[in-house]
Structure 1
């Protein structure tokens, strides 16, 4: 009987940069598009159908006493391959429970800092999708920013901390993943906030996320001023927490900048994107710590497993912040747009409340890599 490893166990290894060998038995095209990555992750791809007649194609590449984690799409094929390898004398083989489907939903909480008012700020890293969400905790209250749809994880975490989620906030209308903000607010009796310029077609009630409209969580004020910051969407709004942390949503990342085209309006919004990055953000303190809503590369994870950077440093090294000429900037953005996220229009419709897919369909809609960034 083969042994299994959970996504939680694998995530801890990735974050802690432990040497990890993975055998991914999905089809090569699926593997090439999206895989498990980490600073100390070594990965081999050998499609399952190549192993149906025996493990010969991989046996010569691997040592029989090596620890090997086998990964497939949903967890079934990897278990069968693990059992075949054990029969051939491999002694340290594990299959990943739930496969890439489960990996895409795992959230790894990382503490960012203690806040001045006595609270704490946490980042939830979705390693399989590149999404980053946040929880600000102060006294007996919490706010969750850019929540993923797996709301139970935030509820359990709040319960462990002895706090009630009183606010959920989306920095913009998401197009790459289904927001859990509205559902989380319903579950906890909290208030759901959304920028009104992104909410023109929504079918539900919300509290407007606007400048000069601070949100207080316990002793901590989450400032929503003066940071209306359009470009990724027309309503994108950044948050400053504790006068130290700038939550940029999908406008600015550590190694890239946001894409302006997911509502089909790249030419219209690229000017807004430039104004936000080169004027609005430039006027802020260089010492603010940028906390984005996504990351694209595993190298963006620091030694703690978090993703963050001082904004002054990003103005020195982020390629998207180095193009002063407006025409050159427009050209860089529009010519470097990656493929759009899978089912991005259906995800937008779901986040507007116009669609309500079954849970399994929601999982399928989100499968695949993060594609929210423009890489110059």
Structure 2
């Protein structure tokens, strides 16, 4: 039986920037498309079929006492290879339990800060997929923004904090991952919010997330202020939390900006995107802390594993906010974009409530990296 490492243990190693060697035994195509990333992570990609009878392929590439994490799709073949390596005298080998499937689903909670009138804001970092969710708690109540489908993690966190989940908020209709918002609302009795301009085809009831309709968490101490900010989708709505934090959804990231093409409306939404980024956000305080719904680059993580930046700083450092020529901006966000997310059309249909795929199908649909940014 192989020695295991869990996705949670692996996440902490990556956040702590520990030197890490990953032996990925998936096909080269799957490895090139999506891999475990970290600032200090090194990789060996050698497919299972070439190793199962010939571990000598690792000679000179892996020392007998070197720590290595073996990874496959679901943890089965990697367990076999880990055991073979241990039998061959490798002394520091670990099998990633559950493989890339488990890595994709792991959520790492990070405290962002205390709120002015009491309460705390947390970020849930999905390292394997690049998704970022937010948990706002105050006076025994909680709101969750852009929750992913692993709802049990949020419920367990709320129980641990002894708070009741009251509000579930999606900043827009997501196309790269399946939202957990409606499911959490059903599980907790909370209210699910969605921008109405993104909800024209949904099959379920929801509360409108609209500018001018503030949401309060706890004893009216934490105000969630919606700001209409179209461009990634026509309904995209940012949130200002406690006059300190700007939750930008998929409009603005730390190192890039949102793409406008995932609903097939790139040329229609370019002007909306530019107006949001170059006019609407310019009117806000430079001191707001930008908290996006995704990250594309491991370098966007701070030392504690969080992802955020001051808005004023992004107007200096983010290249997507510094394209003066409008035609050049149009080309940037409509041409030479990264590949679209895996199964993004089916994901949108799922988030509209039009299809209900089984869990394994949902996992398959979500496989692959985050691709909501113009550059990624």
TM-score range, shorter chain: over 0.9
Judge conservation of contact 1:196–1:208 (CA < 8 Å) in 2: yes
How far does residue 222 in structure 1 lie from its aligned partner after superposition? 3.2
2:217 corresponds to which residue?
Answer: 217
**2:201: which partner in 1?**
201
Runs ≥4 residues deviating over 2 A: 219-225
Contact residue 143 and residue 167 of structure 1 kept, 8 A: yes
**Within 2, Cα distance between the matches of 1:181 and 1:355?**
16
Matched residues in 2 for 1:222 and 1:205: separation? 24
Indicate the residue corresponding to 2:181 in structure 1.
181
TM-score w.r.t. length of structure 2:
0.98
- In the alignment, the residues of structure 2 paired with residue 128 and residue 95 of structure 1 have an alpha-carbon distance, to the nearest angstrom, of 16
Q: Which position in structure 2 is the counterpart of 1:349? A: 349
Q: Which consecutive unaligned segments of at least 5 residues does structure 1 have?
A: none
Within a 5 Å distance, the mapping from 1:305-320 to structure 2 comes to 305-320=305-320
Structure 1 SS opposite 2:228: coil
Task: Report Cα offsets for 1:134-189 as digits up to 9, x if no partner.
Answer: 00000100000000000000000000000000000000000000000010011011
C-alpha distance in 1, partners of 2:128/2:185? 25
3-state DSSP of counterpart to 2:166 = strand
What is the rounded CA distance, in whole Å, between the counterparts of 1:78 and 1:211 in structure 2? 49
Q: Deviations over 1:30-64 (max 9, x none)?
A: 00010001112121111111112220111321111
Distance 1:370 1:346 in 2: 16
- Provide the secondary structure at the position in 2 that maps to 1:336: coil
CA distance in 1, matches of 2:45, 2:207: 47
Aligned-partner Cα distance in 1 for 2:189–2:371: 32
Q: CA contact under 8 A between 1:319 and 1:375: conserved in structure 2?
A: no
Q: Distance in 2 between matches of 1:65 and 1:337?
A: 43
Q: Unaligned regions of 5+ residues in structure 2, if any?
A: none
Contact 1:254/1:300 (8 A) holds in 2: yes
Q: Deviations over 1:187-226 (max 9, x none)?
A: 011000000000001000000000110000014333334x
| Superimposed CA distance per residue, residues 62-83 of structure 1 (whole angstroms, 9 cap, x where no aligned partner) | 1111111100011011011111
- For the Cα contact (< 8 Å) 1:229–1:280, is it kept in 2? yes
Indicate the residue corresponding to 1:160 in structure 2.
Answer: 160
Residue of structure 1 in register with 2:96 after alignment:
96
Give the 5 Å matches for 1:255-334: 255-334=255-334
Is the Cα–Cα contact under 8 Å of residues 168 and 182 in structure 2 kept in the other structure?
yes
Shift of 1:333: 1.1
**In 1, Cα distance between the equivalents of 2:85 and 2:157?**
38
Check conservation: 1:224, 1:237, Cα contact below 8 A. no
Output the aligned Cα RMSD.
Answer: 1.0
- Partner of 1:278, secondary structure, is helix
User: What is residue 228 of structure 2 aligned with on the other side?
Assistant: 228
Secondary structure of 1:239's partner? Answer: strand
Distance across 2 between alignment mates of 1:222 and 1:41: 40
2:243 matched residue in structure 1: 243
DSSP-derived class of the 2:246 partner:
strand
1:54 corresponds to 2:54: yes
Kindly state the Cα deviation for residue 84 of structure 1 after the two structures are TM-superposed: 1.0
Does the 8 Å contact 2:138/2:222 carry over to 1? no
